Chains A and B, each alone.
Chain A
């Protein structure tokens, strides 16, 4: 079964090829092809996960005949394979639940270009997950930036163009800072592959002079990636970009793209810098503080939104804060919580972004809360999926959100510092309370009907399987992460051991 070792490389090559193939296909053919090949990719990633779990060893694969320090390399461990499977599931669900909007939001002649962008995005997500090399990470990060920008502007309305311009400027700033950090690290260590770089850094970190340079370059790199993933105070591009783009883009950008940057950041900390060196740097504490502030500020801003998509987008900012809090806590428990939350949030947020347009559709195509009154009664399946996702966001037991909040609290206990524990518990409490306020308010609004406006005539009776099926998958995954969280947490802990 050693052929499975080749699969990570093949997923990247196949996705790049699919990008250029969709460029020459017609719109509809491109959609069918995209779904077909994404299912293949999902199965392939599933095989990789199964192979690594059974053999218990990470797969290191050199890209070409030249071994580690000279040629490129990719590496697949449990964590990467698990995230790849999750990313593919969400990708498929987003395309399935959103293609109707892609057909209406986009001009007919540009639908195939959108799918080409999606496939390139998949390629870069896969490459960022598998890569074992800092510069490959940067190259595919660039592709990810460009393609996500393109997936915003496809709607061609003023607001998305404006949002895309802002998104691009901030993301390019982030890429630039990341490149600067990589350059400094390369100048210092002479390596771009993460493992030899870590060995060299471990030697150099003894020298206080060089440790200072290491801290500054890691800091610059961290700022770059946190701008791109939307950590407080760099989260203000989120509401416009997520709120007005076509639902598939919003779902993929919020649940996969911004998470991929965080995964790359953790990979840099773990594999390129070395976790023992990184723990000595002050960056960790800064990330903890910014994460905690982001959790509260994001939720407060979400309360002030008068548009449901903007509210969900601001809540994304808060959730990114959670993940950075996990990184800031550090230790196995902290990173486990961060990775678990990456998964839980990806599953939940994609569900919310794919649901809101369905609610708007039965409310005069308006996303304003005013118009959304009793919309869940008019479109029952959309209302129900919003209910599940909202309960998970608040952190009701049984759902994924609860398990991840529990993990954060445990990480706080295991951090061994009273101050950190108190800060984490208070932040979790405040953020959950605020989440509950605005999500329960929204639920009441969409489920209540004070003016008796719901009649048989305006209830949507046409059930589209293309929506129910992906929502069922996402909801089931949400419940699975909530009820059987130990399975996933066990896998994450095993994966973290291979990650370093």
Chain B
């Protein structure tokens, strides 16, 4: 029956009598009555659903068949992927039996990392010296994330609606301020300086031990967040305005890009690099690793605090 209908349509299409896109592209500028009617029906249904208050349930009930199939396909494909990956892992060469070529890079990092980068922490030497290009990209990933969150959450005319019940209150930052808690304040007085000192320690010691820009920056950002929760927006805003935060990010990223650009340029052209490596183990060692760690740390701290502030009140530093 269906097949015959299709066949019939196909031959009518060949003869030029039937038009496949009749209902899609055709139409006139006069209002289409059927369309209005359909729109009305849909609207009514929507209203009914809204009134009954079980819209979500109704929808899922209607599509139950679809969701069951969806669930089944999802489970099957997950199990298949797990199976394939387990099988692959089983086929991989065992530890210690790798191809000798497969370990030459890591061997070099471990054996010559200290003398070539000047950093006791091999990981820091690897990510900020051997493979600095990747880390340069990685710090801009954070920056791109900050841009996206700002676009999405920063209060503006398009994502604020005067129909909101608390529209005028949302505009004021005090609406979101919860720093009236005495316990929070007293604990904050003790804890915040410690967190900042610890964060700075991690930041400055990236080349000598575990730590570095990303982790130190995260601790600093967390410290800023606790500080803000304990003492309120006003105190933070008086120092850490939007402009300051943006400038810190801008200067750090620019410094990072150009410092690394200089190193790339000098290295690739076999020119002498004027950055001293220092004595391994001292604070001022590892060449560019320390300044780059500080730059990354500042960006991470600004980004973390920016996320928090945007999620909490839709602006950074009151702007």
B254 touches A107 (CB 8 A): no
B158 touches A156 (CB 8 A): yes
Q: Which residues of A contact B32 (CB under 8 A)?
A: 370
The contact string, 1 if C-beta is below 8 Å from chain A, for chain B 183-216, is 0000000000000000000000000000000000
How distant is the Cα of A63 from the Cα of B140 in the complex, in angstroms? 17
- If over half of A's interface residues share one DSSP class (helix, strand or loop), that class is named, otherwise mixed; here it is helix
Specify the chain B residue showing the minimal Cβ separation from A193: B105
How distant is the Cα of A303 from the Cα of B132 in the complex, in angstroms? 49
The contact string, 1 if C-beta is below 8 Å from chain B, for chain A 191-232, is 100001001100110000110110011000000000000000
Specify the chain B residue showing the minimal Cβ separation from A146: B144
B258 touches A13 (CB 8 A): yes
B258 touches A69 (CB 8 A): no
B144 touches A210 (CB 8 A): no
A153 touches B158 (CB 8 A): no
How distant is the Cα of A143 from the Cα of B141 in the complex, in angstroms? 5
Partner of A212, one of B91, B116, B132, B249: B91
Residue from the set B32, B99, B109, B140 with the largest chain A CB neighbour count within 10 Å: B140
Q: How far is the CB of B210 from the nearest CB of chain A, in Å?
A: 22
Q: Restricting to A105-160, which residues have a CB under 8 Å from any CB of B?
A: 107-110, 113-114, 116-117, 120, 123-124, 127, 133, 135-136, 139-140, 142-143, 146-147, 149-150, 153-154, 156
A9 touches B254 (CB 8 A): no
Whether A445 is near chain B, meaning CB under 8 Å from some CB there, is yes
Partner of A13, one of B129, B159, B249, B261: B261
Whether A53 is near chain B, meaning CB under 8 Å from some CB there, is no
Specify the chain A residue showing the minimal Cβ separation from B145: A146
Q: How far is the CB of A483 from the nearest CB of chain B, in Å?
A: 32
A13 touches B257 (CB 8 A): yes
A17 touches B268 (CB 8 A): no
| Interface-lining segment among B21-29, B48-56, B162-170, B223-231 | B21-29
Q: How far is the CB of B139 from the nearest CB of chain A, in Å?
A: 9
Q: How far is the CB of A59 from the nearest CB of chain B, in Å?
A: 10
Partner of B29, one of A64, A70, A451: A451
Q: Restricting to A14-41, which residues have a CB under 8 Å from any CB of B?
A: 16-17, 19-21, 23-24
B137 touches A66 (CB 8 A): no
Specify the chain A residue showing the minimal Cβ separation from B98: A190
Partner of B105, one of A5, A116, A191: A191
B147 touches A23 (CB 8 A): yes
How distant is the Cα of A146 from the Cα of B140 in the complex, in angstroms? 11
Q: How far is the CB of A418 from the nearest CB of chain B, in Å?
A: 28
Q: Which residues of B contact A189 (CB under 8 A)?
A: 99, 101-102
A107 touches B27 (CB 8 A): no
Residue from the set B158, B257, B264 with the largest chain A CB neighbour count within 10 Å: B264
Q: Which residues of B contact A16 (CB under 8 A)?
A: 136, 140, 253, 257
Q: Which residues of B contact A142 (CB under 8 A)?
A: 137, 141
B20 touches A200 (CB 8 A): no
Q: How far is the CB of B256 from the nearest CB of chain A, in Å?
A: 9
A23 touches B250 (CB 8 A): yes
B134 touches A146 (CB 8 A): no
How distant is the Cα of A450 from the Cα of B92 in the complex, in angstroms? 69
Partner of A9, one of B29, B93, B261: B261
A20 touches B249 (CB 8 A): yes
Whether A441 is near chain B, meaning CB under 8 Å from some CB there, is yes
A203 touches B99 (CB 8 A): yes
Q: How far is the CB of B78 from the nearest CB of chain A, in Å?
A: 12
How distant is the Cα of A210 from the Cα of B91 in the complex, in angstroms? 7
Whether A369 is near chain B, meaning CB under 8 Å from some CB there, is yes
Q: A200-B99, A203-B99, A217-B88 are in contact. Are A116 and B147 (CB under 8 A)?
A: yes
Q: Restricting to B96-143, which residues have a CB under 8 Å from any CB of A?
A: 98-99, 101-106, 108-109, 116, 129-134, 136-138, 140-141, 143
| Interface-lining segment among B149-157, B171-179, B278-286 | B149-157
Q: A66-B130, A107-B157, A210-B91 are in contact. Are A21 and B246 (CB under 8 A)?
A: no
Q: Which residues of B contact A62 (CB under 8 A)?
A: 267-268
Q: How far is the CB of A352 from the nearest CB of chain B, in Å?
A: 17
Q: How far is the CB of A57 from the nearest CB of chain B, in Å?
A: 16
Whether B9 is near chain A, meaning CB under 8 Å from some CB there, is no
Specify the chain A residue showing the minimal Cβ separation from B144: A146
Q: Which residues of A contact B93 (CB under 8 A)?
A: 188, 210
How distant is the Cα of A456 from the Cα of B235 in the complex, in angstroms? 62
A17 touches B257 (CB 8 A): yes
How distant is the Cα of A204 from the Cα of B130 in the complex, in angstroms? 26
Q: Which residues of B contact A153 (CB under 8 A)?
A: 148, 151-152
How distant is the Cα of A21 from the Cα of B152 in the complex, in angstroms? 20
Interface size on B, residues (CB 8 A): 68
The contact string, 1 if C-beta is below 8 Å from chain A, for chain B 256-292, is 0110110111111100010000000000000000000
Q: Which residues of A contact B158 (CB under 8 A)?
A: 107, 156
B29 touches A143 (CB 8 A): no
Whether A429 is near chain B, meaning CB under 8 Å from some CB there, is no
How distant is the Cα of A16 from the Cα of B143 in the complex, in angstroms? 10
Q: Which residues of B contact A216 (CB under 8 A)?
A: 84, 87-88
The contact string, 1 if C-beta is below 8 Å from chain B, for chain A 56-86, is 0000011111100111101000000000000
A370 touches B29 (CB 8 A): yes
Q: A71-B130, A117-B144, A369-B27 are in contact. Are A66 and B156 (CB under 8 A)?
A: no
Partner of B129, one of A64, A180, A445: A64
Whether A6 is near chain B, meaning CB under 8 Å from some CB there, is yes
Q: Which residues of B contact A65 (CB under 8 A)?
A: 263, 266-267, 273
Q: How far is the CB of B127 from the nearest CB of chain A, in Å?
A: 11
Q: How far is the CB of B81 from the nearest CB of chain A, in Å?
A: 9
Q: Restricting to A428-454, which residues have a CB under 8 Å from any CB of B?
A: 437-438, 441-442, 445, 450-451, 453
Q: Which residues of A contact B268 (CB under 8 A)?
A: 5-6, 9, 61-64
Q: Which residues of A contact B159 (CB under 8 A)?
A: 156
How distant is the Cα of A82 from the Cα of B140 in the complex, in angstroms? 26
Q: How far is the CB of A482 from the nearest CB of chain B, in Å?
A: 27
Residue from the set B105, B148, B151 with the largest chain A CB neighbour count within 10 Å: B151
How distant is the Cα of A91 from the Cα of B233 in the complex, in angstroms? 41
How distant is the Cα of A6 from the Cα of B270 in the complex, in angstroms? 12
Whether B247 is near chain A, meaning CB under 8 Å from some CB there, is yes
A120 touches B140 (CB 8 A): yes
Partner of A188, one of B102, B130, B137, B148: B102
A23 touches B20 (CB 8 A): no
A19 touches B134 (CB 8 A): no
A190 touches B101 (CB 8 A): yes
Q: How far is the CB of B252 from the nearest CB of chain A, in Å?
A: 9
How distant is the Cα of A10 from the Cα of B257 in the complex, in angstroms? 10
Partner of B134, one of A72, A212, A370, A453: A72
A373 touches B29 (CB 8 A): yes
How distant is the Cα of A445 from the Cα of B25 in the complex, in angstroms? 8
List 9 tightest A-B contacts by C-beta distance, closest first.
A190-B102, A65-B267, A139-B137, A72-B133, A107-B156, A150-B148, A13-B261, A20-B253, A64-B267
17 contacts between A and B (CB under 8 A): A16-B257, A20-B253, A72-B131, A109-B154, A110-B151, A136-B134, A143-B137, A143-B140, A143-B141, A147-B144, A150-B151, A161-B152, A200-B99, A210-B91, A305-B24, A370-B29, A373-B29
Given known contacts A20-B254, A63-B268, A71-B131, what 16 new A-B pairs fall within 8 Å (CB)?
A: A20-B257, A23-B147, A64-B263, A108-B156, A116-B147, A146-B141, A150-B144, A150-B147, A153-B152, A190-B101, A190-B103, A212-B88, A213-B92, A216-B87, A369-B27, A370-B28
